[in-house]
Amino acid sequence: MILLDGKELAGKIKLEIAKEVAAMIDNGERVPHLAAVLVGEDPASQTYVASKEKNSKEVGITSSIYRYPESISERELLEVVDFLNLDNEIDGFIVQLPLPKHIDEQKIIERINPIKDIDGFHPVNLGRMMLGLPSLLPATPLGIMTLLERYQVETAGKHCVVLGRSHIVGTPVSILLSRKASPGNCTVTLCHSFTRDIPKITREADILIVAMGRQHFVTADMVKKGAVVVDVGMHRISDESKKSGFRLTGDVDFDKVAGKCSYITPVPGGVGPMTIVSLLQNTLKASKLTHPQTP
């Protein structure tokens, strides 16, 4: 079994990004700038945004956080998005989800200028992705594709089963893996809460991508010998032995499943770090779209 070590790979890609940013500075170009909009005090959102800021700084990308109270109105948040769309200093930005219930998330996402949409959630980016056109890809699916590509996992002709059909993970990754591209060219089965007999389907998977948000849903009896398993799930379990008071685990029962796999991602240290690094890659891409160099 080979561990798809997202932490190690993300470290390598960060060095590549840092070199690219340094070269941009040497050429007299401006430093890419990522912004994050954080609404409210949700601890997980605060952790994600802090990590995005830390990782940006490590590669030389400028980063800013725009913090607003839970009480911000939808109209005010739309104005923040308008401001960031127009601000020439900002190359790309994310609005950290989830938003408070009184704000329509889709409305906010659709207001973001697609070329600054480094989360890749705007319908223009998702539509272009579907058509195989250049676009900013959603960060977690991009991270999964990069992991498969860099570990040279063969995908062409394989049966890939995706558990979960969210707009941010399951659906886009199912489209990317079925595209006529490399990695891609898979035959994809997308499962959700209406799917009958999921274990029967997962046992036929050469590649199994799990993004359900159900702790340890995938057990050893659900996995074919030699399968590639990518676990997107992320759950905090309280653990007194940890300084933070919790540890992370995934949607796959790693200890029981790993022995049957050809490749598997750990949680933590698998898809999570790849998601962050994809956001940095998207920021670089957005900086080239928002500030194209004249030849």
Residues in contact with ligand NAP by CB under 6 A are 140, 164-166, 168-170, 192-195, 211-214, 232-234, 271-272, 275
Q: Look up residue 23 and give its amino acid.
A: A
Q: Terminus-to-terminus CA distance in the chain, angstroms?
A: 48
Q: How far is the CB of 274 from ligand NAP (least distance, A)?
A: 7
Q: Are 68 and 9 in contact (CB under 8 A)?
A: no
Q: How far is the CB of 213 from ligand NAP (least distance, A)?
A: 3
| Residue closer to ligand NAP, measured from CB, 19 or 167 | 167
Our answer to whether residue 91 is catalytic in this structure is no
User: What residue number has its CB nearest to ligand NAP?
Assistant: 166
Neighbours of 236 (CB within 10 A): 15
| Residue closer to ligand NAP, measured from CB, 211 or 261 | 211
Q: How far is the CB of 23 from ligand NAP (least distance, A)?
A: 28
SS3 track for 14-75: HHHHHHHHHHHHHCCCCCCEEEEEEECCCHHHHHHHHHHHHHHHHHCCEEEEEEECCCCCHH
| Residue closer to ligand NAP, measured from CB, 32 or 164 | 164
d(CA 7, CA 32): 23
Q: How far is the CB of 209 from ligand NAP (least distance, A)?
A: 10
Q: How far is the CB of 169 from ligand NAP (least distance, A)?
A: 4
Our answer to whether residue 260 is catalytic in this structure is no
Choose, from 14, 91, 117, 119, the residue flagged as catalytic.
119
| Residue closer to ligand NAP, measured from CB, 80 or 208 | 208
Our answer to whether residue 96 is catalytic in this structure is yes
Write the CB contacts of 268 (distance below 8 Å, at least 6 apart in sequence). Answer: 7, 234, 248
Choose, from 96, 117, 281, 285, the residue flagged as catalytic.
96
Q: How far is the CB of 238 from ligand NAP (least distance, A)?
A: 16
Residue 259, burial from CB neighbour count under 10 angstroms (0-12, 13-18, 19+): exposed
Long-range contacts of 128-136 (CB under 8 A, 24+ apart): 129/172, 129/175, 129/176, 130/175, 132/179, 132/180, 132/181, 136/92, 136/282, 136/285, 136/286
| Residue closer to ligand NAP, measured from CB, 24 or 266 | 266
Q: Say what the alpha-carbon torsion angle 90, 6, 120, 54 is, to the nearest 10 degrees.
A: -20
Closest C-alpha to 207, from 192, 196, 218, 194: 218
| Residue closer to ligand NAP, measured from CB, 63 or 275 | 275
Helix or strand (DSSP H, E) at 148 = helix 139-150
Identify the residue whose tokens are 């659709």: 110
Q: So which residues are the catalytic ones? A: 52, 96, 119
